[in-house]
Structure 1
Amino acid sequence: MDPSDQHRQKVESFGKLPQLQEENDSGNKFKATRRLLFSTEYPKVAQAPLKDFHNLDSLFLDTTPPFRYQLQELTDIESQYSELIKPQTSSHVAVRQEVGDRKLSTDAIIRLGGERFIQSCSSSINGISMSSHPYGGSLSGFSDQEAKDVELIENLLLSAEKVTHQQFERSSNLLDWCDVLSSNSGNPIQRLVHYFSKALREKIAIETGRIPSHGLGKKYVEEIEGKMMTPNPTTLSVYQNLPFFQAGQFPMVQAIVDAVGGAAKVHIIDLSIKQGVQCTILMQALASQPNFPIEHVKLTAVGTKFKEKLEEMGDRLRSFAESINLSFSYNVAMVDDMLDFKEELLELDPEEALAVYSSYALWGMIGQQDRLESLMKVIKNINPHVMVVSEVAANLNSPNFVNRFIEALFFHGAFFDALEDCMDREDENRAITESLYMGRGIRNIVAAEGPQRVVRHVNIDVWRKFFSRFGMKETELSMSSLYQANLMAEKFACGRSCTFDLDGNCLIIGWKGIPIQCLSVWKFS
């Protein structure tokens, strides 16, 4: 391993403090959670019996057994750190010299900020002061901006902790400091803190009764869905510039082609058609199979709103089909409520090879489990050859505010880092993406509770448990699908930062190692 990479790994592992015994008060619960989440490994969801799970909230992190930590003496702390940091005052200078001119990732800065946050809250262990620790409060060896960014994260976390204690005035004072040094047009950390600070202020306003909590959820989802249904410069620019979107789309298409290849008639049910880019890719892939001429492709778009836009989508797709000489038909399965979605709406033909395409289509129903279960029952009844699923690869559904806040910080930090590397800071489409799509999502995750918290995402372990209720079996992606993902990422100038990992049979696409989306393929047993 390159020496600079070794030292970078050390920088990014500073979050590994000795783990303390958790107590029942909210402050210590916050400390236990942050120690777990600022370590270099993400927590695993406990494998509890399926009969214990009644909804997706209970499938989340709250199924993890209570955190238990062993008390350790101060000498043990020093011995752990001695492997990471030499006790000289120039330790961070040495790290910076070894790392060279490479900038720290947003993830590394969040972890360093978390380390300082832990130290600021854990002023003593067994009555022994931590102030003499060789790391101390120094950020020497890092640039002035990196030091400020680390302090920004530290103060943001301190403010969030004050909220958990309902110390709203102290939290607001810390946010005043954050607001001075953050910006919606600065570097990724400054932008990230800007939106998280706004979300925390809104949470404080709600909890102190200054503003009502209603209205945070439904309006946000409808607005986002409406914009995603209409071709616009912002969504097109993000799609064209961020490699993990296209890198995730092509293996999903390939998985469907692998499953229905050879069929003369193919029927695709798309649960979230958006702007239809994936449909054109899939139609072209099916039409270009060298040994299996396709007779007809039928596409059914499922929706609960925006019927006119869905019908306009059909016109565009028919025009595209004509351009590639593909026999094609399009149907809209429109319902007012997903509870009304029935098999009869799909116009099924037993001669068709059936596939279900679900790209970011399920997360919006996590808070409405009856709708989600009703949809899955219909899909099970029609028994498709394959169902491909793409969802956000993050745990953002915990009823526990602390878990949710820290997970959201890492996930959005990676996204802001990607925008920084792949788009200009002055790019108007980047600004819109961060304020409209990311900023409002952060606001809902952080400030909203109960039914108003509609931005809910869970990781692949949770989906596996849920899908298992319907007899769904996860199958592996073909080597061709994995090749497509890597090949697409390599076409981007910043594609090397796009990472690919397999979690069982699921492909996890990330940014510099932080999970962004998960792709999985399912069949019914």
Structure 2
Amino acid sequence: MASHKRAPSYSPLISNRTSAADILKAYGVYVLACPFKKMRLSARAGGPPKLRITGIEFPQPGFRPDERVEETGRRLKRYCERFNVPFEYNVIAKKWETIQLEELKINKDEVVVVNCLYRLKNLPDDTLSSSSARDTVLKLIRSINPEFKEALFHFSAQFDIFEANVSREDPQRMMFGREILGRDIMNVVACEGIERVERPKTYKQWQARTLRAGFKPIPLDEVLVKKVKNLVQSNYNRDFILDVDGRWMLQGWKGRALIALSCWKPARN
């Protein structure tokens, strides 16, 4: 008799003892970059403009599928109140490829920026379905007509970065390694089919797909890139790297690119 084993499920890999707030503190993606933006907005001549953010996250299992993204909104609201920046937050907790344009609640006179950092790689690719979720999401972004920034990374050097720069006893390091990196690695290694949600691609592959979706890359600001390079060289571990490949800015560790950043805008028809 044949024995059939079910591939390990992705969602239960998160410890039940770990709260959404703790994961957010460890991840940092949601909250660490935002205070600096709020401070700049609050200092603008004529007063700060209204900042409206739509927080999108995959639904979590259980009775509160939007718990994690709502916690993000509460943190952002506190930052905005601190710097007197008018703030509005819109929550969407569903699969990205099922989101409709009207759910984003975009006003015609708004400046819109789409940030897909670390998230496009989680969408199912063409190997799972004849209809591509990645193409569907890119077409949605194209219909928004935004300035588009996306980044991809692979995490093979993350533990080495921690080892060289953060104490092993640091609670945030342990949290990130267990709940983020450990979960992602387990999914890539042990899960198959629809239960595998970590499907990273190289930035060259994303470039080809994004071009097909109707976008064109925006040239990098050479002055800004030079400033960032000088900042990295003068303030960070010498093994951190920052390089440029065409219209991509690459960040990495010991010669291995971990993050590729680029800016895109809709191409004219």
Mapping 1:374-453, distance limit 5 Å: 374-384=136-146, 386-392=147-153, 394=154, 412=156, 414-453=157-196
The residue that corresponds to 2:86 in the other structure is 327
Superposed, which structure 2 residues align to 1:291-370 within 5 Å?
294-305=48-59, 306-335=65-94, 337-367=95-125, 370=132
Shift of 1:483: 4.7
Alignment partner of 1:230: what SS? helix
How far is 1:428 from its partner?
Answer: 4.7
Q: Alpha-carbon deviations, 1:301-336, whole Å to 9, x = none?
A: 12342423323332332222122122222222344x
SS in 1 for 2:132: helix
1:272-287 → structure 2 map (5 Å cutoff): 275-287=30-42
- Give me the whole-angstrom Cα distance separating, in 1, the residues matched to 2:234 and 2:87: 31
State the partner residue of 1:515.
Answer: 257
2:10 aligned partner: 217
Distance in 1 of aligned mates of 2:192 and 2:226: 41
| 1:354–1:433 Cα change, 3 Å | closer
- Cα distance, 1:219 vs. partner? 3.8
TM-score of the aligned structures, taking structure 1 as reference length: 0.44
In the alignment, is the contact (CA less than 8 A) between 1:297 and 1:328 conserved in 2?
yes
Distance change >3 Å, CA 233–CA 219, structure 1 → 2 = closer
* Post-superposition offset of 1:363: 0.9
- Alignment CA distance shift 1:502-1:283 (3 Å): same
Higher relative contact order (CA 8 A, sep 6+): 2
Secondary structure of 2:238's counterpart equals: helix
Q: C-alpha separation between the residues in 2 aligned to 1:319 and 1:480?
A: 33
User: Which amino acid is the alignment partner of residue 364 of structure 1?
Assistant: N
Structure 1 residues 478 and 316 mapped into 2: Cα distance closer, same or farther (>3 Å)? same
- Answer 1 or 2: which has greater strand percent: 2
- Is 2:20–2:67's contact at 8 Å kept on the other side of the alignment? no
* AA matched with 2:194: P
Q: Distance in 2 between matches of 1:443 and 1:485?
A: 34
Structure 1 326/432 Cα, relative in aligned 2: closer, same or farther at 3 Å?
Answer: closer
Of 476, 479, 487, the residue aligned with 2:219 is 476
What is the distance in 1 between the residues matched to 2:24 and 2:143? 39
* TM-score (norm. length: structure 2): 0.80
User: Does the residue aligned with 2:116 lie in a helix, a strand or coil?
Assistant: strand
Aligned counterparts of 2:184 and 2:7: Cα–Cα separation in 1: 15
Structure 2 residue matching 1:277: 3-state secondary structure: coil
Unaligned ranges ≥5, structure 2 = 60-64
1:503 to 242, 245, 250: 245
Residues of 2 paired with 1:303 and 1:416: CA distance? 25
Query: SS state of the match for residue 495, structure 1?
Result: coil
Paired amino acid for 1:301: G
Q: Which amino acid aligns with 1:378?
A: L
- Deviation digits for residues 80-121 of structure 1 (CA, Å, limit 9, x no counterpart): xxxxxxxxxxxxxxxxxxxxxxxxxxxxxxxxxxxxxxxxxx
Q: Is the 8 A contact 1:387 1:522 kept in 2?
A: yes
Q: What amino acid does structure 1 have at the position aligned with 2:244?
A: L
| Alpha carbons of structure 1 residues 343 and 213: separation in structure 2 relative to 1, 3 Å | same
**How does 1:226-305 map onto structure 2 within 5 Å?**
230-232=21-23, 235=26, 275-289=30-44, 294-305=48-59
Q: Do the aligned partners of 2:24 and 2:30 also contact (CA within 8 Å) in 1?
A: no
Q: Return the alpha-carbon distance in structure 2 between the equivalents of residues 275 and 383 of structure 1.
A: 23
How far 1:499 moved relative to its partner?
0.1
- C-alpha RMSD of matched pairs (Å): 3.1
Secondary structure of 1:496's aligned partner: coil
Q: What code does the residue aligned with 1:461 have?
A: K
**Mapped contact 1:501–1:508 kept (Cα < 8 A):** yes
What is the alpha-carbon distance in structure 2 between the residues aligned to residue 352 and residue 213 of structure 1? 47
Query: Partners of 1:443 and 1:429 in 2: how far apart?
Result: 20
Query: How far does residue 361 in structure 1 lie from its aligned partner after superposition?
Result: 1.5
Is the Cα–Cα contact under 8 Å of residues 21 and 71 in structure 2 kept in the other structure? no
Amino acid aligned to 1:439: G
Counterpart CA distance in 2 for 1:322 and 1:491 is 34
CA distance in 2, matches of 1:355, 1:370: 23
Rounded to whole Å, the distance in 2 between the matches of 1:468 and 1:474 is 8
* Offset of residue 374 of structure 1: 2.2
* Aligned residue pairs, count: 256
Q: Which residue matches 1:66?
A: none
Query: CA–CA distance in 1 between the matches of 2:106 and 2:263?
Result: 22
Change (3 A) 1:377 1:363: same
Question: Does the CA contact (< 8 Å) of 1:217 and 1:451 recur in 2?
Answer: no
Matched letter for residue 275 of structure 1? Y
| 1:499 aligned partner, one-letter code | I
Tell me the SS of whatever aligns to 1:314: helix
Q: After alignment, is 351-360 or 304-313 more displaced?
A: 304-313
Question: 1:439: Cα distance to partner?
Answer: 3.4
Partner Cα separation in structure 1 for residue 190 and residue 7 of structure 2: 11
